Structure 1
Amino acid sequence: MSERTVFVLDVSGSMAGAKCGTLHLETVRFINRINDGNYVGIVLFTERAWSVHEVTMVTGQAVKKSLVQAVPVSAGGGTDIGAGIMEALAAFSRARVDTKGAKIFLATDGEDGRDHDYVDYVLPHLKNAQVKVYCLAIGVSADHRLERLAMGIGGQVFNLSRVDAESREMMARVMEAAMKEVITSKEMAEVVTHTVVNEIVVINGNTYETRVPIEADIGRNTQIHVRYEAINDLEVEITGPSGVVYSTTGGEIMKRLDLKECVLFMDSTQSGLCAIKVMAQTLGTVRAHLIVESNPTGAHAIGLQVFLRASEVNCPPIVSCKLCKGNDPIVGAIVTATVDRPGGTQTDLSLGLYHKEGYYYAYFTDYSGAGRYNVSALAVNDGNNTTYKGAPIGQFRRQRVANSFQVMADSMTTQLPDCDHFSQLLFSKQFGSMRINNTTQSGAPVGPAPKRSGSSLDSKVVLLSPEMRSLKSRLASSYYRTKLAVNGLQVSASDKSGLNNRLSTIERFLTSVRETSIEEIDGYQHTLDDANNEVMARRLTN
């Protein structure tokens, strides 16, 4: 069955500027890539709601053009989220499409202004229609009830913390990830698209270069996108694994000014390293959005999934990734989550705990206060230590922008559960669902876990000062860069193990929640500096 989606877009006064502009651009990009045969409608809301494009089957460029023309470019008024949801359901009804499995994409930056609880009102209607809602919470003031709305019907919430004009590419990155959740049509579900790169790259000194691995199990219908607000100021050159050079100046890479992107489509790509060079024709720092995606060439390609679980009374939030090739796990990879925190700061979390079914996970305790925490994940191979069915696996990279979890208080539990807690969640098929107000995704009530002897369920984190959080975050970034450099050395296993052992105390410190000091962080940085110097020396002698 075709996908049926209604966009419900907040155009209240607070959305004016970069937020509305970026949402407009990403919605237009979505419409341009959706397949024919799917249904799309657009609803806008302020203190009231109205349809600007009825739910219509996409049958070609003429329909896409009419949808694009309906996407808003300006904003003004109040906020009534409930009215937007109800108008979307009415739009489905007017189109006389089957609503079972249909989706609503809701984007808002504010609190619902009505006196009643709109979630209690709209949820029965959504459940009766069997429509899921995927929410994009824009900024720190976005309605705190969105999780209850989405999880009550099996949806998700994505979050944007930074929403200033300088963060357009970061906003677009999360918006695109959220919109991808609503275009998994039947034909698309049968052909999984693997994301190799999805990140914001910083161009200093006018040029950014990177090498991206394309392994033999992917390489079909490869797409490389470079997006930037002033796309005319960028030139892109891509050298494929076979040595063929593509460029914007040569015309092989399309520069689409309307979508503000440079894009290269390759039907078939040889395995190997793909070199990407982005050149800025302007002064100053440029932040561009780089995406590399590819379809599999066979039945089994490495896949990365991200699962989040909100905090409970006896457990901090859990961030987990499943890394498998077919049904078999990839063992020994480096998997790192980047968490966007309220206020716009980021922190890296090493998913250093491993479960035999292919899950890499960690408990998140690096709180910066109440709010939403959006997550992205990166998995790379760890040299000869990364294996598949017991044998070393070649170079690979997978990256995924995921959804968010919500922290409701400025201080939360830091007491870690028993070591078999994660296994118990998998066994009971609860992991991956979010708990809001002690309810699971299905809405069934859940009681607190029994108190364990010797544990403190009331343990609270003492929030670090902004200075200490910044220093610790900087140390974490340095640590992960050093870890990757060490694992990339062409030295004996024993030498590499010795270097990694010296770094292990830093990893334990980064995952702890105790108080720290500038002196302690400086000491760990000195250890990293020594390790980096040794890495450089080993490279020069090899």
Structure 2
Amino acid sequence: MSERTVFVLDVSSSMRGPKSQTLYSETMRCINRITDCNYADQSVRQNIVAAVPVNYKGWGTDIRAGIIEGLAALRRARLRTKGAKIFVATDGGHWCGNDDYVGDVLPDLIKSKVKVYCLAIGVSADHDLEKLATATGGQVFNLSRVDAESREMMARVMEAAMKEVITSKEMAEVVTHTVINEVVVINGNTYEIRVPIEADIGRNTQIHVRSEAINDIEVEITGPSGAVYSTTGGEITRRLDLKECVLFMDSTESGLWAIKVKTQTSGTVRVHLVVESNPTGTQAIGLQVFLRAPESKCPPIISCKLCKGNDPIVGAIVTATVDRPGGTHTDLPLNLYHNDGYYYAYFTDYSGAGRYNVSALAVNDGNNTTYHGAPVGQFRRQRVANSFQVMADFMPTQSPACDHFLQLLLSNQFGSMRINNITQSGAPTGPATKRSGSSLDSKVVLLSSKMKSLKSRLASNYYRTKLAVNGLQVSASEKSGLMNRLSTFDRFLTSVRETSTEEIDGYQHTLDDVNDKIRALRQLH
């Protein structure tokens, strides 16, 4: 945890209702996660809780004053400002005093070496938050939907933003892997999901089931060996103040865990489900998310790095969910691949100007997912990331040359990398090895826009089919047979060479055959 963090929370009149209420609840959860070893004993935590605004208090938004007060708070506490963080949460634009509030506060922030992280709440949040975050090394998270029916979705992003802020470099070795972090809608009486916990994780596992309707739900969790934990039995703690049910386990049995949520009402219930666990060694599968805003000739890039230890996981299904301005969302298969473990795609499914927040899900696909050439067992990783901003007159739709992503890697644009042909200065020492996603011979005819669109649709269909195969309750041989039918898809979908409508139709025909077999097997079983 970072012991030098200041929260600057918007309490203007526009924050009234679900926005301020959800922000208050998530701030309480964040404070609850602070341990005594971070100079915050019970008395200190109580004082922090008392200082958090419960509801809106005034009119107008003064982001400049909030940041100046945040810096002053650090200095009053006589804390070293280098490496400290200020978390700014606001739903409006700065309209008090000088319009150029960024220019006013940025010199002091840079001199103090303080990073600013921002939570943009709603589509009217100040458009200059990115300037603050980028210049100081922070990030911007975004919430598009802020109505009463979206409390759990708001909480999901708020929690991710606050976790990013309170995690320090000093504690980077204490990794928490998120297996599930999603909001589910229960229209019937029961929702059930099976969650894989591998042997490489399973220490200090926490399962959280959160909901505004916490009084109307019961939770039952069953371990791989049949041990049952429930709210009715008392093993799962129900915390009404935080609107959540929690199961904490020091050590967790590896295998498939079943989580069942039962509702006591006939109406729709939304539940935020979180499963987190610490590693048992140094070889746990990790998921990182990297975003790059649009450039003049390049759409936004969404990239995930999936590794076990320092080495890549190959052949996994990685999908980004993008929350668009206006409250809609879209799924984007990250079906381009680089051998250092990066799954990526260029985003062009714009719904207008504004901020686009991203989350990512990585799952294995049976025998096709490998580590050092060997099959990887069942796993799941999910991560809520930050956002990129798109301007009204700046929505490029054409993907750049095929070596663009490699060049970004060579210039260290996507986090830590292990590329063999780089010296300490960052300059290539020789020709880059040709690999999927890297430079190709200039004579190769690249994909046309039409073929890119058709292949993207095929990739989405392929993703759904693989998930359906993984979910079949059949013998290993039957499932392996279906996977073998799909074994050529990854290479085809990640290729940037030109193809034809007939070739794509042939792959789709294979998917249709596999889906027919899936339906037949479901009827038999």
- Structure 2 residue 405 is the aligned partner of structure 1 residue 422: yes
Structure 2 contact 482–514 (Cα < 8 Å) conserved: no
Following the alignment from structure 2 to structure 1, what is the Cα–Cα distance between the partners of residues 104 and 367?
A: 55
Q: In the alignment, what sits opposite 1:35?
A: 35
TM-score, structure 1 as length reference:
0.82
Q: In the alignment, what sits opposite 2:246?
A: 263
- Structure 2 residue 110 is the aligned partner of structure 1 residue 116: no
SS at match of 1:182: helix
- Structure 2 residue 91 is the aligned partner of structure 1 residue 92: no
Give the C-alpha shift of residue 498 in structure 1.
Answer: 3.9
CA deviation vs aligned residue, 1:178-236 (integer Å, no higher than 9, x gap): 00012214664221010000000121211100110000100110000000012111110
SS at match of 1:361: strand
Q: In the alignment, what sits opposite 1:78?
A: 60
Q: In the alignment, what sits opposite 2:25?
A: 25
Following the alignment from structure 1 to structure 2, what is the Cα–Cα distance between the partners of residues 411 and 81?
A: 26
Structure 1 contact 2–37 (Cα < 8 Å) conserved: no
Following the alignment from structure 1 to structure 2, what is the Cα–Cα distance between the partners of residues 460 and 69?
A: 56
Following the alignment from structure 2 to structure 1, what is the Cα–Cα distance between the partners of residues 468 and 145?
A: 30
Amino acid in the other structure paired with 2:14: S
Structure 1 contact 411–460 (Cα < 8 Å) conserved: no
Give the C-alpha shift of residue 487 in structure 1.
Answer: 4.9
Structure 1 contact 18–168 (Cα < 8 Å) conserved: yes
Structure 2 contact 160–384 (Cα < 8 Å) conserved: yes
1:306-325 matches, within 5 Å, as 306-325=289-308
Give the C-alpha shift of residue 34 in structure 1.
Answer: 1.0
Following the alignment from structure 1 to structure 2, what is the Cα–Cα distance between the partners of residues 162 and 26?
A: 16
Structure 1 contact 310–405 (Cα < 8 Å) conserved: yes
CA deviation vs aligned residue, 1:435-477 (integer Å, no higher than 9, x gap): xxxxxxxxxxxxxxxxxx99xxxx999xxxxxxxxxx99x998
1:155-194 matches, within 5 Å, as 155-185=138-168, 188-194=171-177
Give the C-alpha shift of residue 241 in structure 1.
Answer: 2.1
Following the alignment from structure 2 to structure 1, what is the Cα–Cα distance between the partners of residues 459 and 158?
A: 26
Amino acid in the other structure paired with 1:110: G
Distance of aligned partners of 1:185 and 1:313 in 2 relative to their CA distance in 1, 3 Å threshold: closer
212, 219, 229: which one pairs with 1:229?
A: 212
Q: In the alignment, what sits opposite 2:434?
A: none
1:276-295 matches, within 5 Å, as 276-295=259-278
SS at match of 1:152: helix
Give the C-alpha shift of residue 334 in structure 1.
Answer: 0.2
Aligned length: 475
Structure 2 contact 469–479 (Cα < 8 Å) conserved: no
Give the C-alpha shift of residue 332 in structure 1.
Answer: 0.3
Following the alignment from structure 2 to structure 1, what is the Cα–Cα distance between the partners of residues 15 and 53?
A: 11
Give the C-alpha shift of residue 77 in structure 1.
Answer: 0.8
Give the C-alpha shift of residue 269 in structure 1.
Answer: 0.8
Give the C-alpha shift of residue 417 in structure 1.
Answer: 1.1
CA deviation vs aligned residue, 1:136-162 (integer Å, no higher than 9, x gap): 000000000000110101000000000
Q: In the alignment, what sits opposite 1:141?
A: 124
Percent identical among aligned pairs is 75
Amino acid in the other structure paired with 2:350: Y
Q: In the alignment, what sits opposite 2:430?
A: none
Following the alignment from structure 2 to structure 1, what is the Cα–Cα distance between the partners of residues 282 and 263?
A: 39
TM-score, structure 2 as length reference:
0.84
SS at match of 1:262: strand
Following the alignment from structure 1 to structure 2, what is the Cα–Cα distance between the partners of residues 349 and 504?
A: 18
Give the C-alpha shift of residue 415 in structure 1.
Answer: 1.3
Q: In the alignment, what sits opposite 2:15?
A: 15
SS at match of 1:88: helix
Structure 1 contact 336–350 (Cα < 8 Å) conserved: yes
SS at match of 1:298: coil
- Structure 2 residue 470 is the aligned partner of structure 1 residue 483: no
15, 37, 44: which one pairs with 1:63?
A: 44
Structure 1 contact 132–150 (Cα < 8 Å) conserved: yes
SS at match of 1:181: helix
Q: In the alignment, what sits opposite 1:351?
A: 334
Q: In the alignment, what sits opposite 1:443?
A: none
Q: In the alignment, what sits opposite 1:388?
A: 371
Following the alignment from structure 1 to structure 2, what is the Cα–Cα distance between the partners of residues 177 and 392?
A: 31
Give the C-alpha shift of residue 113 in structure 1.
Answer: 0.3
Distance of aligned partners of 1:233 and 1:345 in 2 relative to their CA distance in 1, 3 Å threshold: same
Give the C-alpha shift of residue 319 in structure 1.
Answer: 0.2
Structure 2 contact 26–158 (Cα < 8 Å) conserved: yes
Q: In the alignment, what sits opposite 1:517?
A: none
CA deviation vs aligned residue, 1:406-448 (integer Å, no higher than 9, x gap): 0012661111111111111111112369xxxxxxxxxxxxxxx
368, 373, 382: which one pairs with 1:399?
A: 382
Following the alignment from structure 1 to structure 2, what is the Cα–Cα distance between the partners of residues 6 and 503?
A: 46
CA deviation vs aligned residue, 1:481-516 (integer Å, no higher than 9, x gap): 3331135565376643545779999x89xxxxxxxx
Following the alignment from structure 2 to structure 1, what is the Cα–Cα distance between the partners of residues 6 and 479?
A: 56
Give the C-alpha shift of residue 29 in structure 1.
Answer: 0.5
CA deviation vs aligned residue, 1:344-381 (integer Å, no higher than 9, x gap): 00100000000000000000010111000000000000
SS at match of 1:294: strand
- Structure 2 residue 226 is the aligned partner of structure 1 residue 243: yes
Structure 1 contact 367–411 (Cα < 8 Å) conserved: no
514, 518, 521: which one pairs with 1:535?
A: 518
Give the C-alpha shift of residue 116 in structure 1.
Answer: 2.7
Following the alignment from structure 1 to structure 2, what is the Cα–Cα distance between the partners of residues 93 and 21?
A: 30
Which structure 2 residue ranges, 5 or more long, are not aligned?
Answer: 417-441, 451-455, 495-506
Following the alignment from structure 2 to structure 1, what is the Cα–Cα distance between the partners of residues 136 and 107?
A: 10
115, 119, 130: which one pairs with 2:113?
A: 130
Distance of aligned partners of 1:113 and 1:432 in 2 relative to their CA distance in 1, 3 Å threshold: farther
Q: Which runs of 4+ in 1 moved over 6 A?
A: 475-479, 500-505, 524-530
Structure 2 contact 285–306 (Cα < 8 Å) conserved: yes
Distance of aligned partners of 1:251 and 1:495 in 2 relative to their CA distance in 1, 3 Å threshold: closer
Give the C-alpha shift of residue 538 in structure 1.
Answer: 3.5
SS at match of 1:201: strand
- Structure 2 residue 286 is the aligned partner of structure 1 residue 303: yes
SS at match of 2:136: coil
